[in-house]
Amino acid sequence: MTAMRRSATHSSAGRAAAGAGRNRVRIIAGKWRSRLVKFPPAAELRPTPDRVRETLFNWLGQRLDGLACADLFAGSGALGFEALSRGAARVVMVERDRAVAGQLRESARELGAEGVEIVQDDALRYLAREGESFDVAFVDPPYAADLAARALALLPPRLKPGARVYVESAEPMRLEAPWRRLREERAGAVRYALYELAP
C-alpha cells in the first residue's frame, strides 16, 4: 500500500513513518530523491515507514529498471512513486477512494511522472479482470478485512514468471504454492515480507 495502512494499530515505526511532515511522504532514492509526495488528511491513513521502504527496496535490489509494477491499495503512492523514481518503466496504482486517487494524479503531475496509470477502483475487482501482467506488486491493504490473502489469491494470473510481491500485514501470512517467501521482517506491529511467484 502501498503505501498506506488503514489500521487502528499504530507502532513506533508508524509514528516515524514519513519523516517529512504531516500528510507528506519523502521519496528515498532515485531521480526524485527527497521529493515530497502529498496525501489527503485522513486519520485512518498512514504511509509505510521510511525504514520499511528502505528495507523493501534493498530486497528488490535498489533499481527497478524497465520493470512493470502494480501498487495495489495505493494510498499515498509512496511505493509506486518510489518504484518509478528507481527506474520502473510502468506503475499502475489502484486506489478506490476518489479523493486519494485524485491526489495521486496531482502528485504524478507535479513529479512529471511518465509510465504511471492511476486506476480508481477496488483492487480485488481490478485483479479479477483480465489485463496486463507485472514484474512486481505491492500489497498493503487495510489489515482488518483479510484483503492481503484475497489479493494474493487473485494475483498469479496478473504476474510474470518469477514476479515478486511485497506484502504488509498485522499477522504472519501462511502461504503455500505457488508462493515462495524470500524475506520477512517485523517493525513494531507491522509484518512485511517479500514473496516470489514460483515457476
- Is there a contact between 197 and 159 (Cβ–Cβ < 8 Å)? yes
Angle in degrees, CA 51, 85, 104, rounded to 5: 90
Which pLDDT tens digits describe the chain residue by residue (199 residues)?
Answer: 444 444 333 333 333 333 445 788 999 999 999 999 998 876 456 677 889 999 999 999 989 999 999 999 999 999 999 999 999 999 999 999 999 999 999 999 999 999 999 999 999 999 999 999 999 999 999 877 789 999 999 999 999 999 999 999 888 888 888 999 999 999 888 899 999 998 7
* CA atoms of 57 and 166, how far apart (whole Å): 10
pLDDT score recorded for residue 19: 41
139: which 3 cell numbers? 500489497
Residues 116, 80 contacting (CB under 8 angstroms):
yes
Longest dimension (CA), the chain: 42
Q: Residue 171: what pLDDT?
A: 84
Q: Tell me what pLDDT residue 46 has.
A: 64
Q: Which domains does the chain have, with CATH numbers?
A: 4-197 (3.40.50.150)
d(CA 46, CA 24): 10
| Predicted local distance difference test score (pLDDT) of residue 126 | 98
Is the Cβ–Cβ distance between 80 and 99 less than 8 Å? no
- pTM of this structure: 0.87
